[in-house]
Amino acid sequence: MIEAHLPGLLTILAPRHPERGADLGRGLRAAGHEVAQRSAGETPGPETEIFLADTIGELGLFYRLAPVAFLGRTLAPHGGSNPLEPARLGCAVVHGPHTENFASIFRAMDESSAALVTPDAKELAHTVTGLLTDTDRRGTLTQSAASFAGRMDGTLDKTAALVLGALGERGEAA
């Protein structure tokens, strides 16, 4: 486990479905972890290993606090989550091989050295430990991720303008 190499590490887990927080918290506690749960009003203390961020609308806060973000749903074939938010908010981005939901963004980030892909949980622990202990490597990855995300800003507006322009040229715009 990463905690063995980094005493005092606080892992923040943000479940995709916050309503699963209570069950997830019980399972983590049953496995012997010290857990603080956001939806229960708990705050992490020195003994806390895992902070369960099972609330809505606060993910940006947690990305700002975390130096490294692993995007869940990418180690198993669930398709992944959007990597641009953690990239914009100062995280080094790590993901697994299953990125179908945002495949083109992940591919471009990987090709731009703006994210790291890890094949499995064992390698994930090694990769995250490496990033947490090597501040230069983490800083380079974080900067690459932020730069990539910055280049993506306005993409939706640009796409909409192109589509509306094409429609207008054909006389089909409303």
Contact 13, 39 (CB under 8 A): no
Q: Which residue carries 């910055």 as its tokens?
A: 150
The pLDDT value given to residue 35: 98
Residues of the chain with pLDDT under 70: 1-4, 155-156, 159, 169-174
Q: Provide the β-strand partners of residue 52.
A: 13, 37
> Domain range holding 164?
2-169
Contact 104, 98 (CB under 8 A): no
Strands 116-117 and 92-95: parallel
Residue 165 covered by a domain: yes
Contact 154, 160 (CB under 8 A): no
Q: 155: domain CATH number?
A: 3.40.50.2000
Tens of pLDDT, residues 118-129: 999 999 999 999
How many domains, the chain? 1
Residue 8: phi and psi, rounded to 5, are 85, 0
Contact 98, 75 (CB under 8 A): yes
The pLDDT value given to residue 3: 61
The pLDDT value given to residue 172: 54
- pTM of the predicted structure, to 2 decimals: 0.85
Residue 2 belongs to what H/E stretch?
helix 2-5
Residue 126 covered by a domain: yes
∠ CA 62-66-67, rounded to 5°? 155
The pLDDT value given to residue 153: 82
The pLDDT value given to residue 131: 98
Residue 16 belongs to what H/E stretch?
none
Residue 174 covered by a domain: no
The pLDDT value given to residue 155: 66
